[in-house]
Structure 1
Amino acid sequence: MATRLSQFRTVGPALVEQRSEPRHRITVTHATVRKQGNVSIEAILRDLSVYGCRLACTSEHPEGERVWLRLKDSLPVSATVIWNDGNHIGCRFDAPIDRGLMRALTLVIC
């Protein structure tokens, strides 16, 4: 229930980032994308979280398509394409990836 004083209460800015885990930017990592029953297509992993990733990929992958991803010589990871802008695809993993794989992909040695 609102009061007369609630109109003067300040409200913080809305969060633009709605992901539950932060994405980590990846410089260049080899990956492959494969539709079920098709051959693997080369891709470049651009950013990553334990729940999903963004890949630079030239092949057509419509929203909702189920794919298998292989990230840096790991076992295949099942995912769903959430968005496609023509040059990149955003995928949500069916299950969070292992934290060890996450560390291996995001570790930067200077």
Structure 2
Amino acid sequence: MIRFAIFLILFFALIGVCIYYKEKLGSKLYIFVMSFIIISSLVAFIYTAFDNSEGILKQKILNAYMNDEILDCSGVKVNKKTHNFNNGTSVFIDNVTYEKTNMFKCEI
């Protein structure tokens, strides 16, 4: 939520700066700058929304793993007894064969 607030503050600050310097910018440059700000803001908003939904999914899968539920990861059965979790790469590592399984392929 803090990222979104910072995003909004920066967005409106950039719009304010463009409006303040509208007279000094040519009309074509002004339109280009405003279009660039709006398009990049839309891309940033979409990225933030996607990043947030991925974090929620990761948390659900990790909670199920920590509660010792069996996860089905593309045919591989994963639980706390058979696999360890590496948070940096978001993979489950088999305790015997050390094969890595991406956590986002798992279903609860």
The reply to whether TM is greater than 0.5 is no
Q: Which has the higher contact order (CA 8 A, sep 6+)?
A: 1
Tell me the TM-score normalised to structure 2 length. 0.26
Q: Which structure's residues are more often helix, by fraction?
A: 2
Q: Which has the larger radius of gyration?
A: 2
TM-score by length of 1: 0.26
